[in-house]
Amino acid sequence: MNMKPPLSNVQQRDIDAILHPYTPLHKLSETGAMVVERGQGVFIYDTQGKEYIEGMSGLWCAGLGFGDQELIDAATQQLQTLPFYHLFGAKGTEPAIELAEKLKELAPVPISKVFFTSSGSEANDTQVKLAWYYNNARGKPKKKKIISRIKAYHGVTIMTGSLTGLPNNHRGFDLPVDRVLHADCPHYYRYGHEGETEAAFTARMAKSLRDLIEREDPDTIAAMIAEPVMGAGGVIPPSAGYFQAIQPILDEYDIMLIDDEVINGFCRTGNWWGCQTHNMVPRTISAAKQMTAAYAPLGAVMVPDDIYQAYMDLSAEIGTFGHGFTYGGHPLGCALGVKAIEIYQKRDILGRVRGLIPLFEKRAKALAEHPLVGEVRTSGLMGGIELVADKGTKRAFLPSLGIAAKAVSFLEKRGAILRAIGDTIAICPPMIISEDELNALFDRLQGALDDTEHHVTKNQCRAEAAAG
């Protein structure tokens, strides 16, 4: 009989005090939380002193790892100088100004102004409000619907949770709300028809989008929001030619394209922006996560001049621009954003990422030979390993079996952290990872997949999937 070890004092305190996000709450009292005590480089350490390779950069965000002294010094200096101030009522701070200037310089399309938020969810929520504001300003009050996509992830506010195209973000929360539409997911492996080429699949995705727009009435649709690579939906790059196929349709119907770079941005895909990697030309951009290397919460919305001019026109009519967040443009976050970008540039993190991509792709694609793996997807230093019950038919395991979650659990025992998204294992290591550390991460993942295959065979999980 397997007896689970008792929870430690700190685990019990955690259970007694914390409501954990994205967690099976009904199981937590049995398993307890892994309480993380410290981090250094690409490693984190729990309260028992166990070391783990943090292969997800936390939540896609700690691109420079943990304990970077330059970032710590920048934070300390800013706290000593000006620990807080706001941007309301025509107030400004040097860190906010400097970060906005840097973002404008780096932007993949011409940008006039930067609006700061506290998170990626707030940035995308703001995108929706600003799209409505913009269309009111230009006399098109009916243009209010926002198109997202199945399997997209854009946040968890009421509006961004609605934009997110994942069922578990809707169930029990009375989401999605009105004005939100979901187009098809451009995932060729999972949604391509038998015998359909990838080019034909992309054409079908474009036609489906056009049909949706025409069915809903283009005069009622303000924008489409899209991640260049769908992150929390399973690390799904678009099918070949996808954005080139849909952008003329959006332009034809005067529907702006909002680029959600919250996960993709700041060198992660092998370019400064994911839209550059995947041939997407946005009107507005959301950023967060690696913008501060995760050393402080911060998000941003970047808009071009013609859209900003419309904001000014409506502000003049109303008397003010009535939107903002207390911590939007917080001087600590902005100072860390300035320093993170400086580090990305002077340490040539982009060149480092590009240098690691061949090894990352080689090790990831080698996993495609594993009996559990149906598809391997990569974009820069992001990867998704999709597990299937049957490689030939692409048949999925029953969701209730939690096979990818089981694999991630085995991986933790081997000393590495990745994330299960449905039956996909997501990989997103800090961009400072060395080749030896990257190889160690994949070695441990290979071992965890072997452990999972043993579990699947022992418990007849494939038979259960077939019966389901």
Residue 21 banded pLDDT, cuts 50, 70, 90: confident
Phi/psi class of residue 348: alpha, beta or left (left: φ > 0; alpha: ψ in -120 to 50)? left
Looking at residue 23, what is its pLDDT?
86
CB 307 within 8 A of CB 295: no
Looking at residue 464, what is its pLDDT?
66
Q: Indicate whether 44 pLDDT > 60.
A: yes
Looking at residue 27, what is its pLDDT?
87
Summary mean pLDDT of the chain? 96
Q: Rounded to the nearest 5°, which phi and psi values hold at 24?
A: -70, 95
Q: Which of 27-41, 95-109, 222-236, 285-299 has the lowest mean pLDDT?
A: 27-41
Instruction: Give the number of other Cβ atoms within 10 Å of residue 129's Cβ.
Output: 13
Domain ranges of the chain: 34-67+351-467, 70-346
Looking at residue 463, what is its pLDDT?
78
Looking at residue 3, what is its pLDDT?
63
Q: By percentage, how much of the chain surpasses pLDDT 90? A: 92
Q: What is the DSSP letter of 54?
A: E
CB 257 within 8 A of CB 226: yes
Residue-wise pLDDT tens digits, 246-278: 999 999 999 999 999 999 999 999 999 999 999
The neighbouring-strand residues paired with 146 are 180, 223
Instruction: Give the number of other Cβ atoms within 10 Å of residue 171's Cβ.
Output: 9
Looking at residue 1, what is its pLDDT?
45
Q: Report CA dihedral (277, 282, 288, 291) to the nearest 10 degrees.
A: 60
Residue-wise pLDDT tens digits, 114-124: 999 999 999 99
Looking at residue 348, what is its pLDDT?
98
Q: Measuring CA to CA, which residue among 393, 411, 403, 395 is closest to residue 447?
A: 411
Which residues have a Cβ under 8 Å from the Cβ of 261 and sit 6 or more positions away? 227, 228, 273, 274, 275, 285, 286, 287
Question: What's the CATH code, domain 70-346?
Answer: 3.40.640.10
CB 360 within 8 A of CB 383: yes
The owner of tokens 């100088």 is 81
CB 259 within 8 A of CB 228: yes
Looking at residue 31, what is its pLDDT?
86
Q: Indicate whether 445 pLDDT > 70.
A: yes
Predicted TM-score of the model (pTM): 0.95
Distance CA 370, CA 387 (A): 9
Specify burial of residue 258 (Cβ count, 10 A radius: 0-12, 13-18, 19+). Answer: buried
Q: Report CA dihedral (279, 151, 378, 285) to the nearest 10 degrees.
A: 40
**The CATH classification of domain 34-67+351-467, taken from the options 1.10.1240.10, 3.30.70.870, 3.30.1950.10, 3.90.1150.10:** 3.90.1150.10
Residue-wise pLDDT tens digits, 325-374: 999 999 999 999 999 999 999 999 999 999 999 999 999 999 999 999 99
Residue 468 banded pLDDT, cuts 50, 70, 90: very low
At residue 287, the 3 state secondary structure works out as strand
CB 126 within 8 A of CB 191: no
* Mean pLDDT value across residues 128-145: 98
